[in-house]
Amino acid sequence: MVALQKKSSKTWKLADAKNKLSKVVDMALEEGPQRITRRDSTVMVVALKEFERLTDKRPGFVDYLTKAPSFTGVHFERDRKKVNARLKSKE
């Protein structure tokens, strides 16, 4: 889950937001997300740039691995003595 950047977030009643919509939008652009409440419901006015940042789709793990640099020519070795010693200590 992505966190909102910590900026000022003002809460507006719906009637006030309707009367001052330009101000609500300006504040969303300059100061961060603005909350608008109607009875028990709340919506947010969020600048497009912030929305895109929050909903950015990052590649999944499989995509990450398939697009990672190749390990061709890299040779990995394990010290089997350490592995065997660890296995024996668990017995």
pLDDT tens digits for 8-55?
679 999 999 999 999 999 999 999 999 999 999 999 999 999 998 888
Q: Is pTM beyond 0.85 here?
A: no
Q: How confident is the model at residue 7 (pLDDT cuts 50, 70, 90)?
A: low
Residue 36: beta bridge partners? 12, 43
What is the arithmetic mean of pLDDT over 53-68?
Answer: 83
Vertex 87 angle, CA 82 and 88, to 5°? 100
Provide the CATH number for the domain formed by 11-90 in this structure.
3.40.1620.10
Question: Exposed, middle or buried by CB within 10 Å (0-12, 13-18, 19+), for 27?
Answer: buried
Domain residue extents for the chain = 11-90
